[in-house]
Amino acid sequence: MAPSMTGRPPKAIQAVLRDYRGEQVHLPEDQVPDVLGRLARAAGRQGRMPHQDPTPAAIYQALCDTLTQMGRHDEIG
């Protein structure tokens, strides 16, 4: 199950990209791109992605960069 976008979107993204409160989050590797895509679409609906916000939070830029590196730029909200 993907982290919720209603509570703390940046923390949900950070949990997948890096860690959560210092603990490594273990998702099956094959699910990571889909989870990140869902988080990006949700962040896009909130207008938080770099192409929508002139001063995006660093975590949204990291999400965008990661999806681009994965070849999934089309999923960026």
The answer to whether residue 2 sits within a structural domain is no
The answer to whether residue 61 sits within a structural domain is yes
pLDDT of residue 15: 93
Task: Collect the ranges in the chain with pLDDT lower than 50.
Answer: 1-5
Backbone conformation region of residue 55, classed left if phi is above 0, alpha if psi is from -120 to 50, else beta: beta
The answer to whether residue 4 sits within a structural domain is no
Cross-strand bridge partners of residue 23: 20
> Of 41, 49, 36, 50, which is closest to residue 3 (Cα–Cα)?
36
pLDDT of residue 6: 53
Q: Are 63 and 43 in contact (CB under 8 A)?
A: yes
Residue range(s) defining the domain that contains residue 68: 9-17+30-75
The answer to whether residue 25 sits within a structural domain is no
Give the count of domains, the chain: 1
The answer to whether residue 24 sits within a structural domain is no
Rounded to whole angstroms, the Cα distance separating 44 from 23 reads: 27
pLDDT of residue 4: 45
